Each structure stands twice: as structure tokens, then as C-alpha cells.
Amino acid sequence: MAKSARKKTAKSGKAKTGGAGAKAKPTDPKAALREALLRRTAAGGWRDLSYAEIAKEAGLSLAAAYQAYPSKAAILTGIGRDIDSRVFAGLEGDPLEGSAKDRLFDLLMRRFDALNQHREAFAALAKDLPRTPGEGFALLCQLRSSLVNMLEAAGISASGLRGALRIEGLGAIYAAALRVWFKDESADLSKTMAELDKRLSQAERCIEMTRRRSA
């Protein structure tokens, strides 16, 4: 009886030790995968990063990871949507004000603030994604949706032919500011703000000139 009891105690102790050392599963698998992808990309780049590595970094089995996001491209799309959600959630307590230019400036700078935590990862993505066109195309599609959402949130229609031109124009402005942001080491992102203000002002002048000619 004593020997049997000692065996049970030993087995019980091993089970408890194993449970204490095991890595807890994340409560939000999607968020864990998004963060894991950004961490791994910042550390080692994008091209050679495997889906299995991302899942392991997130503390998930492949099956659990696949249920959350079925591919690297899907995780990228999820990152874009999460950034949009955070930017738009902030509008509830801090709404947009001023002219159309002011509202777009505010929205784009909020987006850069959201990106800033993982600047190294986004810089690596910008460098490597052109060499992986499948995932690059997925991110571009998500970015286009983000541009549409920002225009609409600023009270500017993104519908029809004019809307399509506005989306293209805002995309060019965002790309120009993004290139500056990658190298902007200022605490308040002053260089990014200056570039964004300059580009938006140029667009505003072009629109005003077009209106005068058509009047």
C-alpha cells in the first residue's frame, strides 16, 4: 500500500511539474499570430519566415493557428484590419475636426502612430514583399480598403470615378509619407508630419485649380 501510494504521488508530482512549465495558450489566437509575425519579421525578415515559425512564436499548434488565420497572407491582412480598427476606435473619444485636409492629416498620423510600435517589422515587409508577390498583393488589397475607409471617415466619398481617383491620390500621398516615416527618428514624427502636410497641401491646391477651371 505504501509503495503504491508513493508511485501515485510521484506520478502526480510529475504531472504538476509538467503543467507548471508548459506554455499557456494565448487567449486571443489572432492577436498572438499578428504579434508573432511582426516580431519574427523584425528579427529575421519576411521572405524566409515560415508559417510554422509564426505559429510556434505565437504559442499555438498548427491546427489552432490555421483556424485563426489560414496563411501568412491572411495574418498580414489581419494586421491591416487591426490597425484600421484601432484608428477608428480612437475617433469615438477624439473625433476629427477641421477641413478635409485636416481630417485626412489627422487620420494618417493616427495610422503612423499605430504603426510606430513595429517600425522595424514594417520596414522589413516593405523591402521583402515585392519579392513575394502573392502576399504583397494581399497587403495592397487591404491597404486599398484602408484608404477607402479613411476617405469615408474623413467625410470624403470614395465611390465612383472621382472616388477611384481620390483613392489613388491618397495612396500616393501615404506612400510618400511612409518613405519618410521609415527614417524618421524624431520623437513626435515631425519629419513625417511635414511631408504629409506638404503632400496634402499640394493635393488641395490641385483640386482647387481644377474646380476653378471647370467653373
Assigned domain for 127 exists: yes
pLDDT digits (tens, 9 = 90+) for 188-213: 999 999 999 999 999 988 877 766 66
Whether 137 is covered by a domain: the verdict is yes
Give, to the nearest 10 degrees, the angle between helix 29-44 and helix 72-89.
110
> Does a structural domain hold residue 32?
no
Asked if residue 106 belongs to a domain, the reply is yes
Q: How many domains does the chain have?
A: 1
Measure the CA–CA gap between 175 and 37, rounded to whole angstroms. 22
The answer to the question of residue 33 being in a domain is no
Is residue 5 in some structural domain? no
Nearest to 84 by CA among 28, 172, 147: 147
Q: Is residue 6 part of a domain?
A: no
**Range of 158's domain?**
75-214
In 3D, which of 168, 165, 162, 114 has the Cα closest to residue 143?
A: 168
- pLDDT tens string 113-132: 999 999 999 999 999 999 99
The CATH number assigned to the domain holding 136 equals 1.10.357
List, for the chain, all residue ranges whose pLDDT scores fall below the cut of 50. 1-21
pTM reported for the whole predicted model: 0.83
The verdict on residue 148 lying in a domain is yes
